[in-house]
Amino acid sequence: MSTATPVLTQIDAHSHLAVDTDWWRGAVIYQIYPRSFQDSNGDGIGDLGGITQRLDYIASLGVDAIWLSPFFTSPMKDFGYDVSDYKDVDPMFGTLADFDDLIEAVHAKGMKVLIDLVISHTSDQHPWFVESRDSRDNPKADWYVWADAKPEGSPPNNWLSIFGGSAWEWDSVRCQYYLHNFLASQPDLNFHNREVQDAVLSAAQFWLDRGVDGFRLDTVNFYFHDAELRDNPPLPEGAQLTGVETTNPYAFQHHLYDKTRPENLQFLERLRQLLDRYPGATSVGEIGSDRDVIATTAAYTENGKRIHMAYSFDLLTPQRSAGFIRETVEGMEKGIGSGWPSWALSNHDVVRVASRWGEGAAQDRFAPLATALLTCLRGTPCLYQGEELGLTEADVPYDKLQDPYGIRFWPKFKGRDGCRTPMPWATDNAHGGFSEAEPWLPVADTHMNRSVARQLDDEHSVLQRTKAFLIWRRGYTALLKGDLTFIDSDPETLVFIRSHEGNKVLCAFNLADIPAEIDVAGLSLFSLNAPGFSGRLDGGKLRLPGLDAYFAKVL
């Protein structure tokens, strides 16, 4: 073992963001759910002005970009994922001027802004759909997926909605069925129509011209459907169902024909051509419930051709063993080719990782460890608001539920409201400093003791440890853009090396609550002072306390 001080490749704060069109590789993206971040006008709902008010806090976390969940004009049947105007801000969240102010303020702090682009479907209140349903021969008649009933009146095929029931809704105006992969009030656009593609690309260009730095692409594999409307076959024999899949028959099908169609690749190339006109603009796609997610991710993120990166739900499941994580990451590494993954442990659609993976664990130790692991994987990490506080899933009673998904499948599946409750900013406020009015969802009592105000003054808090680690991480290019190679280690530990242009950093994580010992006698290591973690090198042994980590320069 060497004790010589190594030469480290370091980068300065946000300086790389201004000059590097590949800034997104390894950048930390902080997801903001606007309804629940900060209310600035006292109506109980978060808004753009509230986000602007909290930018000092966001910048202090050491993140590189923010991703805003939808704020477009919408009837809010699915809380903004049902867009009725792609080129305006819903009054609930503010105005276009408020958005412009936010963009300017974010950029002034050296960060980037990504926004949700929800183009697989619209609201049924969008003018496009209103016109489309009016007749079978109007200019937008073919902008949505319409089909005649079978002779006995049943839907055209067996496709199902993720939110329950048939994916087809009868319309008494056109006397035809229309396709909706989600709510009946979210009709699917017909991407086989070139005019539809042009229209959604125009919406994307509108926001790029206003200064956004890219898009998170909602359900990016849902854009095209099978033009022949063939039935989906049943799930292959032996396929495992987990979590909400066991209560939702959507998971019983093998979704060959209603999504992940080959025509999608050509549209993504058109989208990439638009993005490439804006240097540094990027895109991260959400690949929803795809059974061949690695191949899909590889195709969608082929370097320079389509979208820049994509994430799936592979690490957003209840499975959390070290073996499962290694198998998932190694599978992606082997199969992604020239593409680039994005990783997340929490978002606005799943149970928070502190509950899903950390139930029963000491959250003050588990939460910083989970964030460190997430941000050290090869790829671009997305950190969901509240993860930096160690927030657990909130228990929202049935009479307070807002999520139509949860209401539909209650009580076995409680929906997504538990991860969408408002941010707790203060402890001495009835609504956690989020709003002076009754919030749209209640602030969880269990979150009050994890408020920002309470954690700011405690250097050992989850918040302070997370901030310190993310800022420290920026100093090592290998952790941002390097290759990843796993090293065999004891069960419930993960050890890998990130390598970039001759610089190598070893990362070791103990996911168990008991100490672990790892043999590293074959490596020459120089210990790095990663804040908040106490693993240590002892001769040829690496000693990790429970729920702890260790980082070293590989010489």
Hey, which residues are catalytic here? 218, 286
The answer to whether the beta carbons of residues 536 and 551 sit under 8 Å apart is no
What is the residue whose two structure tokens read 């039935």? 231
Return d(Cα 363, Cα 450) in angstroms, integer: 10
The answer to whether the beta carbons of residues 432 and 455 sit under 8 Å apart is no
**451: Cβ–Cβ under 8 A, 6 or more apart, which residues?**
389, 424, 425, 426, 427, 432, 433
Q: C-alpha angle 101/38/208, rounded to 5°?
A: 35
| Per-residue b or e along 4-39, where b marks 16 or more CB atoms closer than 10 Å to that residue's CB | eeeeebeeeebebbeeeeebbbbbbbbbbbbbbbbb
Tokens (6 digits) for 443: 């602030």
CB neighbour class for 285 (10 Å; exposed up to 12, middle 13-18, buried from 19): buried
The answer to whether the beta carbons of residues 368 and 469 sit under 8 Å apart is yes
Coil, helix or strand for 527?
A: strand
Which of the 8 DSSP states describes residue 298? Answer: H
Tokens (6 digits) for 448: 């009050």
Return d(Cα 302, Cα 106) in angstroms, integer: 30
Return d(Cα 482, Cα 307) in angstroms, integer: 20
Q: How many residues comprise the chain? A: 555
Q: Output Rg (C-alpha) for the chain, integer angstroms.
A: 24
Which of the 8 DSSP states describes residue 268? Answer: H
Tokens (6 digits) for 144: 């949505």
Backbone phi and psi for residue 215, each to the nearest 5 degrees, phi listed first: -135, 145
Coil, helix or strand for 124?
A: coil
| Per-residue b or e along 148-163, where b marks 16 or more CB atoms closer than 10 Å to that residue's CB | eeeeeeebbbbbbbbb
Closest Cα partner for 467 from 31, 59, 23, 18?
59
**DSSP secondary structure letters along 314-357:** TTSSS---HHHHHHHHHHHHHH-TT--BEEES--TTS--HHHHT
Q: Count CB atoms within 10 A of the CB of residue 190.
A: 23
